[in-house]
Structure 1
Amino acid sequence: MKLLIRNLNRTTSEAELLDLFEEFGSVQSLTIVRDENADLSKGFGFVNMPKAGEAKVAMQNLNGKIIAGFKIRVKKADPSPAPNSDDSAALDDSDEH
């Protein structure tokens, strides 16, 4: 299960987050989103935990926890929208007159 972590202190490291989440189970991947130009944290990241039960326990225990002076928010990440092939078909139909 992929989790979204928001309101991170910009100094929080991936290692610190990994330690937090590993208390509740195995972590498949973890990423803090960074500004490409400045290489600074944007204050949010993602954790992927393969076992949904462990992810739910981590979410319940870490949501609202104060980490490095910031009250973090942890929730299930929304799935990425899949490309819709129907949109291109609709465009093709509208071109025909």
Structure 2
Amino acid sequence: MDIYVSNLSPYVVSEDLKNQFSKFGVVSSANVIMDKFTNRSRGFAFVSMPNDAEAEKAIQEMDGTSFDGKAISASKARPREEKNNRSSYNNRW
């Protein structure tokens, strides 16, 4: 299960998240999303845990807790909506 983690401190790195969520089970990946222009954290991340029960426990325990001085939010990640900007652009002509 993929977990969406938001309201992260700008100083949190992927390894910090992996260590924190590993308390609840196996973490296959943790990825803090970085701004491609400034290379700074965008304040959110995705953590992937293969065991759904462990992931649910992590969400329950981590949501609303303080992590590096900020109250973080943790929830089940939703699938990304695909954007098709080219078609709307082409429809203008």
For 1:81 and 1:32, the matched residues in 2 are separated by 19
Kindly report which structure 2 residues correspond to 1:78-93, keeping only aligned pairs within 5 A, or say none: 78-81=78-81
For 1:35 and 1:27, the matched residues in 2 are separated by 23
1:13 maps to 2:26: no
TM-score, normalised to structure 2, is 0.84
Q: 1:95 aligns to what?
A: none
Q: Percent identity?
A: 33
How much is the aligned-residue C-alpha RMSD, in angstroms?
A: 1.5
How far 1:80 sits from its partner (Å)? 2.6
For 1:22 and 1:4, the matched residues in 2 are separated by 15
How far 1:82 sits from its partner (Å)? 6.4
Q: 1:22 aligns to what?
A: 22
How far 1:81 sits from its partner (Å)? 3.6
Aligned partner letter, 2:32: I
1:38 maps to 2:42: no
Q: Where in structure 2 are there 5+ consecutive unaligned residues?
A: 84-93
- Between structure 1 and structure 2, the one with the greater Rg is 1
For 1:42 and 1:64, the matched residues in 2 are separated by 19
Secondary structure class of the residue paired with 1:37: coil
Secondary structure class of the residue paired with 2:58: helix
TM-score, normalised to structure 1, is 0.81
Q: 1:51 aligns to what?
A: 51
Aligned partner letter, 1:37: F
Q: Where in structure 1 are there 5+ consecutive unaligned residues?
A: 84-97
Indicate conservation of the 8 Å contact 2:34/2:40, yes or no.
yes
